[in-house]
Structure 1
Amino acid sequence: MELYKAFKISAAGMRAQGTRLRVAAENVANADSLPTAPGQDPYRRKLLTFKNVMDREVGVEMVKVNKVMPDRSDFGMKYEPSHPAANDQGYVQTPNVETLVEMMDMREAQRSYEANLNVIQSSRSMLLKTLDILQ
């Protein structure tokens, strides 16, 4: 039963990190998305939060994505007077996405995903060895 709990906890972690990876990839993909008209906002970076959820069936706490929300930090400004969305001074708002930060977040999500996968593989190996001993 303990190995079953390890499977459930690790699977929940993999789901959460997969969502984190998707959000970071969406941010990177839109890092250069500028508005198309004056007064419009560019792409706004997305953030996600996690929460612990009690799985009463198994009796363990698991991680889950709480919510995906917009990052309220300020947009950047870029001087490009010929752009259709430029203001009176010739500046265009740029997304509040820092590609380097997103790439680091993606790498961290990947490592957490891999760690959870290793737990599942180790638990599976232990379960198989236990079955071999019992035969």
Structure 2
Amino acid sequence: MSAFSDALSVTTSGLKAQASRLRLLSENIANVDTPGYRRKTMPFRTDTGASGISRVEIGRVNLDRRALEQIHDPSHPLADETGRYDGSNVDLIIEIADAREAQRSYEANLKMFDQTRQMSSGLMELLRR
């Protein structure tokens, strides 16, 4: 049964990583119009434990260091003497594409989790006979 628990552990780590990624992407999308907001990114890495099974680990949240968009609006309270202020560096198209990718990865991990669970249940049924 160790192989089943290892498979469930790997898919669970993938589910947690993609859920965290979706949360971060939703924060970026929600703040696309927030002045001075910097896009957040989250790297993934693999962690091979003592059992030799690789799992997905979440890295530290990083802020995107690209330049902020300069917006010209002299009536804005944050505008300087030239009428400009710093917008955000979030690109909505990139965030939506990343969200779709994360959603598909989450769904793939969920299917693997479900298949592993069904295989485990099927094995238990066979052993009961």
Query: Shorter-chain TM-score: what band?
Result: over 0.9
Say which of 84, 96, 105 aligns to 1:91. 84
Q: Please list every run of at least 4 consecutive aligned residues from structure 1 whose deviation after the TM superposition is greater than 2 angstroms.
A: none
Task: Determine whether 1:8 maps to 2:13.
Answer: no
Query: What is the count of residue pairs matched by the alignment?
Result: 127
Of 46-55 and 115-124, deviating more is 46-55
Aligned ranges for residues 50-61 of structure 1 at < 5 Å? 50-56=44-50, 58-61=51-54
Aligned with 2:90: secondary structure? coil
Q: Which residue of 1 aligns with 2:107?
A: 114
Measure, in 1, the Cα distance between the counterparts of 2:75 and 2:61: 34
Which of 41, 49, 65 matches 2:43? Answer: 49
TM-superposed CA distance for 1:55, in Å, is: 2.3
For residues 80 and 122 of structure 2, what CA distance do their matches in structure 1 show? 68
Aligned pairs (5 A) from 1:25-104: 25-34=26-35, 42-56=36-50, 58-104=51-97
Deviation of 1:92 after TM superposition, in Å, equals: 1.6
In structure 1, stretches of 5+ residues that fail to align are 35-41
Q: Corresponding residue for 1:37? A: none
| SS of corresponding position for 1:89 | coil
What is the alpha-carbon root mean square deviation over aligned residues?
A: 1.0
- Greater strand share, 1 or 2? 1
Note the alpha carbon deviations across 1:95-128, whole angstroms, 9 max, x for none. 0001111111111111111111100100011111
TM-score normalised by L of structure 2: 0.94
The letter of the residue matching 1:117 is: L
The Cα shift of 1:51 comes to 1.1
Q: CA offset at residue 131 of structure 1?
A: 1.2
Query: Deviation digits for residues 35-75 of structure 1, max 9, x if unmatched?
Result: xxxxxxx111101111111222x431101111111000011
